[in-house]
Amino acid sequence: MKTVDKYLFQALDNYPFNLEETVESLDYALSYDDKNTMALCLYARVYAEQLLNYEEAKSLFEKAIGININAIEVYPFYIQTLLLNEDWDEAEKVIDFAVTIKGINKVEILLKRVLLLELKREFKKAQKTIKEIKLLLIDSDYNYLIEETERRLNEKLGKKSDDNDSPKKKKSKKKSSK
């Protein structure tokens, strides 16, 4: 194990609970290897998630991708930053590329697409993407998140989440009780 890895582990262990030690460890890690995409990614996350400095975060994410375009650890956080910064066209391009990278968590990236479509108020397309995600699932880790996202999309489309309360069902219940 390299020294850079030791400092990277310290930074990952401290984030987000001890930001001072996180940044110190990242500075040491990057002093040993200024092209370490994991360290650059975590530094970008500090800027995006803690300091809300999306432009600086984007710059660091782009630097990491410039070093290794297949740095799968970068894309979910980079896309989230683009969404928060309302860079929707750029986010769409990054999502389209990211799903082509071998080894990336496609479910996680496609969930970012759902968020993008929801932000753009393209709810039907978002629901279609949810169906695509369900086909990719191989475990139940994302079930709750997907269910909650579907519920939220249905509410935005004006659908009831509980089918028993739908107006059509109420009418049919009244007719059958006569």
Could you state, in chain order, the average pLDDT of each consecutive group of 10 residues for the chain (178 residues)? Answer: 96 98 98 98 98 98 98 98 98 98 97 98 97 94 96 88 46 47
Between the alpha carbon of residue 11 and those of residues 15, 52, 176, the distances in Å are 6, 19, 65
DSSP secondary structure string for all residues of the chain: --HHHHHHHHHHHHTTT-HHHHHHHHHHHHHH-TT-HHHHHHHHHIIIIIS--HHHHHHHHHHHHHH-TT-TTTHHHHHHHHHHTT-HHHHHHHHHHHTTSTTS-HHHHHHHHHHHHHHTT-HHHHHHHHHHHHHH--SSTTHHHHHHHHHHHHHHTT--SSGGGSHHHHHHHHHHH-
Residue pair 95/112 in contact (Cβ under 8 Å)? The answer is yes
pLDDT of residue 163: 47
DSSP secondary structure string for all residues of 97-145: HHTTSTTS-HHHHHHHHHHHHHHTT-HHHHHHHHHHHHHH--SSTTHHH
pLDDT of residue 33: 97
pLDDT of residue 160: 55
Query: Which amino acid is residue 14, in one-letter code?
Result: N
Between the alpha carbon of residue 153 and those of residues 96, 136, 159, the distances in Å are 22, 20, 9
pLDDT of residue 174: 47
Report the C-alpha gap between 92 and 83 in whole angstroms. 9
pLDDT of residue 159: 74
Chain-centre distance of CA 123, in angstroms?
A: 18
